[in-house]
C-alpha cells in the first residue's frame, strides 16, 4: 500500500472440523455425561456454533494486536452462507461430471475420532520397541508349515492369502497351493507377486486386503476377498470369530499370540523398529480398513496443475528448494481424495437418499425432493473434509458462488500476488487451491507462495501443550511489545526453523528503545522547526552539504534500495538487517554524534536534515514496527511547504498511507561513504585503544597517524570531527612517524 499498490490482505478462518468436533464432544461428556449421539445433532451443532462465536475469534484478536494490516470488513469464515453456497455448487458440479463418486475403498480410520482421515492427516511416528511376530500357517496336504512375519498379528483373522515373490526359489513349489489359516477354520491360497520383499521377515507375507493399503492393491490384482474384522472403534467384529468379537484390537493381538503359542505355531518374536501411522490431531494409532466414502477423482485437475507446472505460469515457491520439488512430486503421485468425514461439525454432504438407496445430489432439500419426486428422503449424515471448503478460498472469498464467473473483486485481486503459509500444508491446501482455481476460475490462484519456517520451543522441539514449551504471542506482546516481537519474527531467515529466543527478542526491544530515544533527542531540539525536505532530496543542495551529511544521505538511499530489493524477493530478514544497522550504527551511533553540536545549538538547517532523515527512516521501519513508528511519525513537525514530497511526510494522517521511500540513485555517493569509512575506522581504533589503556573520558590525547597522501587528505578534511569524537587535542599526520615515548 505504501508503495502505491491497491492492496488486499483478506482475513478469515476455516471451521476446523475434527478439532471442534472433539472439543464439543469433550464438553458434552464433561457437562452432561453424555455422548453426541445421546444429545442429538441439533444440540451438538448449537453448542458448536456457540463455541465458535466465543473462541473462534481468538486468532483474529491476536492478529489485531500484532498490527496486521488486513481489511477487517472482508472477514470470511468457511461455513458462512456465501462460502457454504460455493461449496455446495462445487460438489454438485463435480458430481454431475462424475468427478465425485461414492464407493468402498481402503481408508485411514481414526478409532478415537471415528472418522476417515486423508493420507495427509496421518503422520508417521517411530516406535523403537516394536515387535515382529513369526506365525506359522500349516500347508494344506503336508506336514510342513509356512512362516509369515507381521507386526499386527490381530489382522491375520482377516487374511485372504499368503504372498511370495515369484523370483524367490525358496517358495517356487508352493505357489498355487493353500494353507490352513489358524483360529479361523479357513483355507487361503499362496500367490506370487513381485511386490513382496524377499528380504523382509521370511520372504512370505500374510495378505489382509481389508486392513492394509498395499495388501488392498495386491488383493485387487489377484481378485482376493476383502474381509473386514474390525469395528469403527478399533474393536474386533463378528467376522474376527467368537473368541475375539468385541475385544480391543490390542487385547485381540495378545490373545492371537497366546493361541498361536498354545498351538505350537508361534515360531518367535523379535524386537523390531517400526513406523506407526498416527492421527495428526489426537495421536491415536490409525487403522486401515475398507469403508464406503465420498471421493473426488483428481486426474483431470492434477493434469491441469502439472501442465501449469511445466510452463512459466506455475506458482513460484520461496524458498524455491525443496518446496517446488515436494509440490510437483506429490502432484505426480496424486490419488483420489476422500472428502467425507464422519462428523457433525462441517458442511453436511448435499446428497439425499430415497427408500431404495438411490442418491440425489442437490443444493437443498427442496431441490432434492423435486429431483426425486418424493418427500421420503434422508440426507447423508457425513460432512465434507474441511479442506473441501478451504481449497476454494482464493476465489470463494471474492464472491464466486459457482454461477458467477467474474466478480469485480476477482477481476481486481485474482490471481493473488502471494500466499503465505506453512510447509506442512503444501499438499493439504496449496496444491488443492491450485487445482480448484484452474478448474473453476481458469487461472492460477496466486503468483508466489511464501513458505514460513517453524518456530520451535527454546528446547528446539516443536511447541506443544504437552511439552509445556509453547509461547503465547499475547504474553510476548505484553512483555516485549508488539513491535519488538514483529521485527524479531521478520528477522528469521526465509523458511528457516528456529528456536524461540527471549534473548534475541530483548535485543529488538532495545532497538525499539533506541528508535524512541533518538526521535526524542531530535524532537527536543526541533521545537518550532519547519522542515525543508529538499535539503536531503535535491541533488544540488546535497552536493553543497558537509561530508557527514552526504554520507548519511547516501547511506539512507542505499538502505532504501536494499530494503526494497529485499522485500521484492520476500527476504524480510535481509530488510530487517539493513534497517537495524542503518538506524543503530549509521544514524544513532555516528550521525547524531557528528551533528549533535549543530542540533543543540539551534542550527535550523542541521535540524531540518536530521528530522527529514529520521522521517524517512520511520517510514522504512513502519511495515516491521507499525505501532512505534506511527506514534513517533505523528509527532514530527510539518514541512515548510504544504507539498506531497516523497522525501518527507505529506498531509497524510497516518504513516500507513505515506509513500514508502525509494532510493534516489543520484544521491548514493560512494566517495563520501568511503571517506567516512576511513574516519569511522580511525575513531573506532582510537576508542578501542583508550578503553584498553583505561584512559579517562575527560583526558584529551594526541593522535599520530601514518598514512598515504589520499588518507591524509581525508583525515585532514575531517580533523574537527575526529578530535571531537576521539576526545583528542591534536592530530599529527605523516607518511611514517617516530612513535613518541609513553604512547600506545
> Is residue 466, in this structure, part of any structural domain at all?
no
Examine the domain organization and report whether 536 and 606 are in the same domain: yes
For residues 39 and 28, give the distance between their C-alpha atoms in angstroms, rounded to a whole number: 8
**Which distant-in-sequence residues (6+ apart) come within 8 Å of 242 by Cβ?**
none
Examine the domain organization and report whether 126 and 243 are in the same domain: yes
Tell me, what's the pLDDT at 647?
61
Tell me, what's the pLDDT at 739?
63
Do 390 and 339 contact (CB within 8 A), yes or no? no
| Main-chain phi, psi angles of 104, to 5 degrees | -90, 120
Do 498 and 471 contact (CB within 8 A), yes or no? no
Examine the domain organization and report whether 269 and 141 are in the same domain: yes
The label of the residue with cell 494486536 reads: 65
> Is residue 354, in this structure, part of any structural domain at all?
no
Q: What is the CA radius of gyration of the chain?
A: 35
- 63 φ/ψ sector (left φ>0, alpha ψ -120 to 50, else beta): alpha
Residues of the chain with pLDDT under 70: 309-312, 404-405, 465-466, 639-652, 736-744
Examine the domain organization and report whether 594 and 716 are in the same domain: no
Examine the domain organization and report whether 520 and 626 are in the same domain: yes
> Is residue 580, in this structure, part of any structural domain at all?
yes
The label of the residue with cell 524455491 reads: 320
Tell me, what's the pLDDT at 97?
97
Tell me, what's the pLDDT at 744?
64
Examine the domain organization and report whether 683 and 663 are in the same domain: no
> Is residue 328, in this structure, part of any structural domain at all?
no
Model confidence pLDDT, tens digit, residues 352-386: 999 999 999 999 999 999 999 999 999 999 999 99
> Is residue 690, in this structure, part of any structural domain at all?
yes
Q: Which of 10, 681, 43 is nearest to 345 (CA)?
A: 43
Examine the domain organization and report whether 652 and 704 are in the same domain: no
Asked which of 668, 690, 723 is the last residue of a domain, the reply is 668
- Overall number of domains in the chain: 4
> Is residue 536, in this structure, part of any structural domain at all?
yes
> What's the grid cell of residue 618?
520511520
> Is residue 189, in this structure, part of any structural domain at all?
yes
Tell me, what's the pLDDT at 644?
41
Distances in Å between the alpha carbon of 317 and those of 439, 451, 464, 495? Answer: 21, 7, 28, 10
First to last CA, the chain: 55
Examine the domain organization and report whether 614 and 715 are in the same domain: no
Do 446 and 418 contact (CB within 8 A), yes or no? yes
Residue 691, domain extent? 672-734
> Is residue 216, in this structure, part of any structural domain at all?
yes
How many CA atoms lie less than 13 Å away from 254 in the CB half-sphere? 4
Tell me, what's the pLDDT at 642?
47
DSSP helix/strand/coil, 358 = coil
For residues 547 and 583, give the distance between their C-alpha atoms in angstroms, rounded to a whole number: 18
Between strands 186-192 and 161-164, the pairing is parallel
Asked which of 270, 288, 306 is the last residue of a domain, the reply is 288
* 116-121 contact pairs (CB < 8 A, 24+): 116/291, 116/293, 116/338, 116/340, 116/341, 116/342, 117/279, 117/280, 117/286, 118/337, 118/338, 118/385, 118/387, 118/428, 119/335, 120/427, 120/428, 121/279, 121/280, 121/281, 121/428
Tell me, what's the pLDDT at 484?
97
- The CATH code of the domain that includes 591 is 1.10.730.10
Any idea how long the chain is? 744
Examine the domain organization and report whether 651 and 678 are in the same domain: no
Asked which of 668, 687, 704 is the last residue of a domain, the reply is 668
SS (H, E, C) 699-723: CCEEEEEECCHHHHHHHHHCHHHHH
Examine the domain organization and report whether 206 and 262 are in the same domain: yes
Examine the domain organization and report whether 63 and 146 are in the same domain: no
Examine the domain organization and report whether 705 and 576 are in the same domain: no
Amino acid at each position: 500500500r505504501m508503495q502505491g499498490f491497491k492492496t488486499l490482505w483478506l482475513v478469515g478462518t476455516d471451521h476446523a472440523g475434527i478439532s471442534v468436533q472433539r472439543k464439543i464432544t469433550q464438553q458434552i461428556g464433561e457437562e452432561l455425561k453424555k455422548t453426541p449421539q445421546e444429545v442429538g445433532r441439533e444440540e451438538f451443532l448449537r453448542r458448536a456454533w456457540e463455541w465458535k462465536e466465543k473462541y473462534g475469534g481468538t486468532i483474529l484478536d491476536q492478529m489485531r494486536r500484532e498490527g496486521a494490516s488486513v481489511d477487517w470488513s472482508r472477514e470470511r469464515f468457511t461455513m458462512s452462507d456465501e462460502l457454504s453456497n460455493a461449496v455446495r455448487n462445487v460438489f454438485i458440479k463435480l458430481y454431475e461430471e462424475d468427478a465425485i463418486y461414492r464407493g468402498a475403498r481402503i481408508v485411514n480410520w481414526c478409532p478415537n475420532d471415528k472418522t476417515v482421515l486423508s493420507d495427509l492427516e496421518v503422520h508417521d511416528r517411530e516406535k523403537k520397541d516394536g515387535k515382529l511376530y513369526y506365525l506359522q500357517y500349516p500347508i494344506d496336504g503336508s506336514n510342513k508349515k509356512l512362516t509369515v512375519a507381521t507386526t499386527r498379528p490381530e489382522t491375520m483373522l482377516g487374511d485372504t492369502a499368503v504372498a511370495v515373490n515369484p523370483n524367490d526359489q525358496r517358495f517356487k513349489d508352493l505357489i498355487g497351493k493353500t494353507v490352513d489359516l489358524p483360529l479361523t477354520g479357513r483355507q487361503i491360497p499362496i500367490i506370487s507377486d513381485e511386490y513382496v520383499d524377499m528380504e523382509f521377515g521370511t520372504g512370505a507375507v500374510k495378505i489382509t486386503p481389508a486392513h492394509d493399503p498395499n495388501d488392498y492393491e495386491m488383493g485387487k490384482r489377484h481378485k482376493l476377498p476383502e474381509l473386514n474384522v474390525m469395528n469403527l472403534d478399533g474393536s474386533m467384529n463378528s467376522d474376527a470369530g467368537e473368541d475375539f468379537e468385541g475385544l480391543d484390537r490390542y487385547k485381540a493381538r495378545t490373545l492371537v499370540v497366546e493361541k498361536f503359542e498354545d498351538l505350537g505355531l508361534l515360531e518367535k518374536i523379535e524386537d523390531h523398529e517400526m513406523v506407526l501411522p498416527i492421527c495428526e490431531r489426537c495421536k491415536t494409532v490409525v487403522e486401515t480398513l475398507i469403508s464406503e466414502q465420498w471421493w473426488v477423482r483428481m486426474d483431470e485437475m492434477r493434469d491441469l496443475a502439472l501442465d501449469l507446472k511445466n510452463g512459466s505460469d506455475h506458482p513460484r515457491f520461496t524458498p524455491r528448494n525443496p518446496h517446488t520439488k515436494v509440490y510437483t512430486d506429490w502432484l505426480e503421485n496424486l490419488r483420489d481424495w476422500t472428502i467425507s468425514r464422519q462428523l457433525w461439525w462441517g458442511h453436511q454432504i448435499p446428497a439425499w437418499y430415497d427408500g431404495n438407496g438411490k442418491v440425489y445430489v442437490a443444493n437443498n432439500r427442496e431441490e432434492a425432493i423435486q429431483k426425486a419426486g418424493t418427500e421420503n428422503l434422508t440426507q447423508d449424515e457425513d460432512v465434507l473434509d474441511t479442506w473441501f471448503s478451504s481449497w476454494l478460498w482464493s476465489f470463494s472469498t471474492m464472491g464466486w458462488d459457482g454461477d458467477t464467473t467474474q466478480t469485480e473483486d476477482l477481476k481486481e485481486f485474482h490471481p493473488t500476488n502471494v500466499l503465505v503459509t506453512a510447509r506442512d500444508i503444501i499438499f493439504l491446501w496449496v496444491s488443492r487451491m491450485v487445482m480448484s482455481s484452474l478448474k473453476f476460475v481458469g487461472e492460477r490462484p496466486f503468483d508466489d507462495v511464501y513458505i514460513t519456517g517453524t518456530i520451535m520451543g527454546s528446547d528446539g522441539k516443536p511447541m506443544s501443550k504437552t511439552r509445556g514449551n509453547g509461547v503465547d504471542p499475547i504474553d510476548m506482546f505484553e512483555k516485549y511489545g508488539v513491535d519488538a516481537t514483529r521485527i524479531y519474527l521478520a528477522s528469521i531467515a526465509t523458511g528457516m526453523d528456529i528456536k524461540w529466543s527471549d534473548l534475541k527478542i530483548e535485543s529488538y526491544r532495545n532497538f525499539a528503545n533506541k528508535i524512541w530515544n533518538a526521535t526524542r533527542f531530535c524532537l527536543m531540539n526541533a521545537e518550532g522547526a519547519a522542515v525543508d525536505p529538499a535539503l536531503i532530496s535535491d541533488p544540488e543542495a546535497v552536493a553543497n552539504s558537509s561530508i557527514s551529511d552526504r554520507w548519511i544521505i547516501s547511506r539512507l538511499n542505499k538502505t532504501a534500495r536494499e530494503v526494497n530489493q529485499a522485500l521484492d524477493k520476500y527476504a524480510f530478514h535481509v530488510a530487517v538487517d539493513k534497517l537495524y544497522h542503518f538506524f543503530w550504527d549509521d544514524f544513532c551511533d555516528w550521525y547524531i554524534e557528528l551533528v549533535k553540536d549543530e542540533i543543540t545549538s539551534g542550527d535550523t538547517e542541521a535540524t531540518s536534515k536530521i528530522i527529514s532523515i529520521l522521517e524517512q527512516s520511520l517510514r522504512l521501519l513502519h511495515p516491521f514496527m507499525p505501532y512505534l513508528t506511527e506514534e513517533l511519525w505523528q509527532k514530527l513537525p510539518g514541512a515548510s511547504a504544504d507539498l506531497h514530497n516523497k522525501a518527507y511526510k505529506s498531509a497524510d494522517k497516518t504513516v500507513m498511507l505515506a509513500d514508502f521511500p525509494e532510493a534516489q540513485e543520484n544521491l548514493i555517493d560512494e566517495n563520501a561513504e568511503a571517506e567516512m569509512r576511513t574516519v569511522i575506522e580511525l575513531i573506532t581504533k582510537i576508542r578501542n585503544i583508550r578503553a584498553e589503556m583505561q584512559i579517562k573520558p575527560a583526558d584529551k590525547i594526541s593522535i599520530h597517524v601514518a598514512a598515504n597522501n589520499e588518507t591524509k587528505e581525508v583525515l585532514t578534511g575531517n580533523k574537527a570531527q575526529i578530535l571531537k569524537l576521539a576526545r583528542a587535542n591534536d592530530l599529527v599526520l605523516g607518511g611514517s612517524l617516530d612513535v613518541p615515548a609513553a604512547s600506545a
